[in-house]
Chains A and B, each alone.
Chain A
Amino acid sequence: MLSNAVYINRASVSVPFVVSGANVAAGKVTSVASSGWSFQQGETPRRSDPFDLSVYVGSPVSGVLIVEHPNDVNSIRYLTDLGCQNYRLAEVLTVAIEKSGDQFIAREPRRGWYGYGDSEERAIGSFASSLVEELEGLGAREDQLSQHLREELGQLRSVVIPQR
């Protein structure tokens, strides 16, 4: 299945399966797949430097794969669930995880959302819970927000939506 993918550095390509998470770095990389997803790991022969690729696959058959050069980004996760009873995600979020000092930082680069913790899992958990806490905190102060915070609240509301 991996032979169907096209690897392009720092680019998004469509691949014929859903990618729930992908890790690219020098040396061995470990990942935890979402439950219910099958897991596949491969190594690309197209690069001379050490390069591991972990891919989670599932259905329906669509998705995006982002391949990054080995750098500060330890891994890229695709967040599909907030682990929250009251809210869910309206879209899959791409979250880059990097080690910084003693902490791991989980960051959604496009919107600047982040969370952190002393492990990758805690950083992801912090990221997810901070989305909900920020949404509720900004929402509670909606009438008092300056322009840029109103825009942030709007962005959060378009992505973090109440559970049906």
Chain B
Amino acid sequence: MASLESDKVDGALENKLGCEVDRKGRDHNFYWVKENDIVLARTKISKGPKHTLSDTLVTMMARQLQLGVAGNLVKFVACTLSKDGALDIIRAAARGQQSSVSAAKPVSPTKPALRTKPTRR
């Protein structure tokens, strides 16, 4: 089971990953992953006393952080995944989403559709 302690995750996200942490919210602290002034990902932890984040929660947080699977967040908190390694995964996920969005865009009606010449046999 990939459970984590909330204070360990808080420390890892703020100090190791360098997240901008917003603690002004009423119920949650928010962790913003930024690079070159672009927000790549974010996640949140409930305020209040230290608590255990279950496997399901760790999975959802890893998804929000664009780390893919829970194991990557566990490794990051356990220091077996470096900051650079984590950022590589996050960047790759962001690039993948960008390209899938581009691929899903319909062809502009002002541009003629590409036509391939029929090949001669």
| Residues of chain A having any CB pair with chain B under 8 Å | 98, 100-103, 105, 107, 112, 114-118, 125-126, 129-130, 133-134, 137-138, 141, 144-149, 151
Shortest Cβ distance from A103 into B: residue:
B54
Question: B57, A103: Cβ atoms under 8 Å?
Answer: yes
Residue of A133, A144, A148 touching B27 (CB-CB under 8 A): A133
Extra A-B contacts (17), CB below 8 Å, given A137-B22, A137-B42: A100-B55, A100-B57, A103-B52, A105-B60, A107-B60, A125-B27, A126-B28, A129-B27, A130-B27, A133-B25, A141-B32, A141-B39, A146-B39, A146-B97, A147-B98, A147-B101, A148-B101
Q: Decide if B103 is an interface residue (CB 8 Å cutoff).
A: no
- A137-B26 Cα distance, complex, nearest whole Å: 12
B2-19 vs A, Cβ < 8 Å mask (1 yes, 0 no): 010000000000000000
Residue of A116, A133, A151 touching B26 (CB-CB under 8 A): A133
12 contacting pairs across A/B (C-beta < 8 A) = A101-B3, A101-B52, A102-B54, A103-B53, A114-B60, A129-B26, A130-B27, A130-B44, A133-B25, A133-B44, A137-B25, A137-B32
Residue of A100, A107, A129, A149 touching B54 (CB-CB under 8 A): A100
The list of the 6 closest CB pairs from A to B, nearest first, reads A101-B54, A100-B54, A100-B56, A133-B25, A129-B27, A148-B97
Of A115, A118, A149, most B-chain CB atoms within 10 Å: A149
Question: B44, A98: Cβ atoms under 8 Å?
Answer: no
Shortest Cβ distance from B54 into A: residue:
A101
Shortest Cβ distance from B98 into A: residue:
A147
Chain B residues with CB below 8 A from A129, complex form: 25-28
Chain A residues with CB below 8 A from B27, complex form: 125-126, 129-130, 133
Chain A residues with CB below 8 A from B26, complex form: 129, 133
B42-69 vs A, Cβ < 8 Å mask (1 yes, 0 no): 1010100001111111001001000000
Chain A residues with CB below 8 A from B89, complex form: none
